Each structure stands twice: as structure tokens, then as C-alpha cells.
Amino acid sequence: MKRAILIVLDGCGAGEAPDAGDFNDFDHPSTIKHVWDQAGGIGAPNLIELGFFAACGVGPLPSRSATYGRLREMSRGKDSVTGHWEMMGIITPVPFPTYPNGFPETLVSSLEAETCRKFIGNRPASGTAIITELGPEHVKTGNPILYTSADSVFQIACHESVVPIEELYSLCETARRICVSPNNVQRVIARPFTGDELNGFTRTERRKDYPLEAPTNLLDKIGDVFGIGVVPELFNGRGFRVGARTQSNVEHAKRLWQALESDARFIFANFEDFDMLYGHRNDPAGFANALVPFDSVLGELRKKLQPGDLLILTADHGNDPTSKSTDHSREFVPFVLVGSLDKVGNLGDIDGMNTIAEVVSNHLGI
């Protein structure tokens, strides 16, 4: 049986896109190159050999059998949903709305009326910063924290001992129903946290995403897809096997081994620690260090590949930790192919992350 394995290294951009300025990225983002340069190199032999770093413009030459290049996103966005959707064939020509001044009062009032709760915050903010600032007030009053970012996201943060996790999810489900046209927010996100004012607040790993319904795409044609990490949530679970969400690169790797032992012919995984823990926190050293254990996972994965397997490595957007911003960056994404290929070498720059859908569908005979 032919299989396709698609692994997204979240936030691992491959260099400034031609339209980066349209997305307020004026500091020439180049995530992996800048991380590599700051670290003075990264001990990741598998990523080097397969051409992942070469696709990003750094590192020694890969092996002669490597097949690699860069993909240019055609959709109008630089976020996880838009990126993953385009990989499966969905081009988003109209950007989803963003809220640099916070959400409209009418939208917030509707949410407060339906949930019988008052929300605090309502402005763009770093998730870790805003729970530090407003966490004490939230614990005292029980009022959920509402914030956004440069992306089209409606994020609700609550302390797990103040608002039980299932109640937080319920708040987000209500917000999802309300955040429709003209406030067509792309994604509602539950952001639970724990801790206290004295010792600090910490976000937990029980985050949950509620995106808009995806248009028809390749996943609908394949069906029974083995999703790992946030991926199934980005498509509201449609086309995926039912399973608990894994929340870290370590957990994703364990689930990947389970997926390889299953009868799934398409495995779609997202390893998000690079983006979540280091890109958004401007930590290039942590970003570089996180690539090393992933490289070990990749080495084990290569040993487990079978004849007829196709492995694709890519990213969904950039998140340059060396920039002043803590937001995603508009970049090319790396494109690495392993197995069942007719061509090797540098493929150059290719328009459209939907190239991945074409490659997967051709490989699986769809």
C-alpha cells in the first residue's frame, strides 16, 4: 500500500516572501536562516542531508539524492489555518479580518449577553504577557480574558481552577457561533492556564481550536486520515480519524509511531513547539535547540519508511524569533520530498502550497 506522510514544522519559514510588506513584515524575515546564523549552526544531520536547511538558504550541501525547494503561499494570510488549508488545495483569496484595536463592542456585548459573563482585555497581546497582567483580576472576578493577535483569532484565556476546562470550551463554542460575517474571525482559541500571581501563571496544554468550516478539499477525498497535533482541529475533524489531541513535539512523535503502525494511507502531522514555545517568544536559541530532538525523530522515521512511502517536510508560515514582532511572518516555506520520486535536486521556488495536495493525490492515485 502506498502511503503519504506530511509533517509540518510549524513556523519554520524559508525566507521573506515577495509580498511580505503587505503583511507588515518589513524587517526581512527568514526564520530558519536567522535561527541558524544566531546559533552558529544546528546539529541536525537528517535535516541537512534531506535538504531542509538548503531550502532555507543555509547549511552545508545536502546529499545528491535530496529533493527540496520552497513553496510560495498564494492565500492572503500568514497563519496556521490558511497555511494548512492551502496544503490541502484551498486558496484563500480574501484575508480574514484582523482586529488591531480589539473586537467591536457589539460583538463583545453579544458574547457577554449569551454567556452571562463580562470579558476583560479585548486587545492584541502576547498570550503569556496578558495572563501575567490580567491573571490576578481574572482570578478575583472570574471574568475571562479576551485578546487577539496579528492573525484573525479570538482567544479566550481562563484559569482552570476558576473556569473549569469544559466551561471554557463551551464559552469558545458560543464565541464560534457569534464570530461570523461581518466579524468572520478565522479561529476561536481556548487558552487555559494555571498558577498564581506570586509564582506566575502558566498556559497549560489543553488548548483547543475552533476554526471556520473548511471548504471541500483533498482530505474529503482521502478520508480516514491519521491527524497528529492541531491538524484535525484546523479542519474541524472532517476527514480525520477520531483521537485525542497531542500537545507537544514529544507527544506528536509518540503518536507518529502509532500512525505508522496503522493502516492509514495518509498521515498529516504538525510539530508546533518551534512556533509556540520559541517563535512567539523571540527565543532563537530555544528554536535552534528544538530542531535537534526533532532531527532525531526524523532519523527514526527514515528507518521506519517502507517501499511506496512518500515523506513530505514543510511549514505553514514563518515565525522569525529574531524580529521585534512576536507574530507570524510572511515567508516561503521549505518543501522536502523523500521516496517514490522521479526528480532529485533543488526544485527552486514553486508558486502555491497546494502543490502538496497535487503531489499527495498523485502519489495515492486520487
Q: Tens of pLDDT along 152-162?
A: 999 999 999 99
Cell 503518536 belongs to residue: 255
Q: Which part of the chain is CATH 3.30.70.1250? A: 105-210
Is the distance from CB of 29 to CB of 13 less than 8 angstroms? yes
Cell of 297: 525523530
- How far apart, in whole angstroms, are the C-alpha atoms of residue 55 and residue 349? 9
Is the distance from CB of 333 to CB of 75 less than 8 angstroms? no
Cis preceding-peptide flag for 29 (omega within 30 of 0): no
pLDDT at 320: 98
pLDDT digits (tens, 9 = 90+) for 113-145: 999 999 999 999 989 999 999 999 999 999 999
Q: May I ask the CATH class of domain 3-96+212-364? A: alpha beta
Is the distance from CB of 170 to CB of 180 less than 8 angstroms? no
Cell 509533517 belongs to residue: 7
- How far apart, in whole angstroms, are the C-alpha atoms of residue 221 and residue 239? 8
Cell of 172: 469558545
Closest to 58 (Cα-Cα) out of 33, 28, 31: 33
- Residue 67 belongs to what H/E stretch? strand 67-72
Alpha helices in the chain, H assignment, sequence order: 31-39, 45-50, 52-55, 80-87, 105-115, 127-141, 165-178, 218-222, 231-234, 249-261, 273, 284-304, 355-364
- How far apart, in whole angstroms, are the C-alpha atoms of residue 163 and residue 154? 18
Is the distance from CB of 248 to CB of 292 less than 8 angstroms? no
- How far apart, in whole angstroms, are the C-alpha atoms of residue 265 and residue 223? 10
Helices and strands: H and E segment counts in the chain: 13, 13
In SS3 terms, 267-287 reads as: EEEEECHHHHHHHCCCCHHHH
Cell 498521515 belongs to residue: 267
pLDDT at 150: 84
- Write out the chain's pLDDT in tens, 366 residues: 899 999 999 999 999 999 999 999 999 999 999 999 999 999 999 999 999 999 999 999 999 999 999 999 999 999 999 999 999 999 999 989 999 999 999 999 999 999 999 999 999 998 999 999 999 999 999 999 999 998 899 999 999 999 999 999 999 999 999 998 889 999 999 999 999 999 999 999 899 999 999 999 999 999 999 999 999 999 999 999 999 899 999 999 999 999 999 999 999 999 999 999 999 999 999 999 999 999 999 999 999 999 999 999 999 999 999 999 889 999 999 999 999 677 789 999 999 999 999 999 999 999
- How far apart, in whole angstroms, are the C-alpha atoms of residue 286 and residue 291? 9
- How far apart, in whole angstroms, are the C-alpha atoms of residue 323 and residue 341? 37
The alpha carbon of 204 is separated from its chain's Cα centroid by a whole number of angstroms, namely 17
pLDDT at 43: 97
Closest to 228 (Cα-Cα) out of 206, 243, 208, 214: 243
Alpha helices in 196-283, H assignment, sequence order: 218-222, 231-234, 249-261, 273
From 3.30.70.1250, 3.30.70.2660, 3.30.470.20, 1.10.3720.10, which CATH number describes the 105-210 domain?
3.30.70.1250
Is the distance from CB of 49 to CB of 60 less than 8 angstroms? no
Q: Which part of the chain is CATH 3.40.720.10? A: 3-96+212-364
Is the distance from CB of 47 to CB of 298 less than 8 angstroms? yes
Strands 3-9 and 266-271: parallel
pLDDT at 340: 66
The alpha carbon of 15 is separated from its chain's Cα centroid by a whole number of angstroms, namely 17
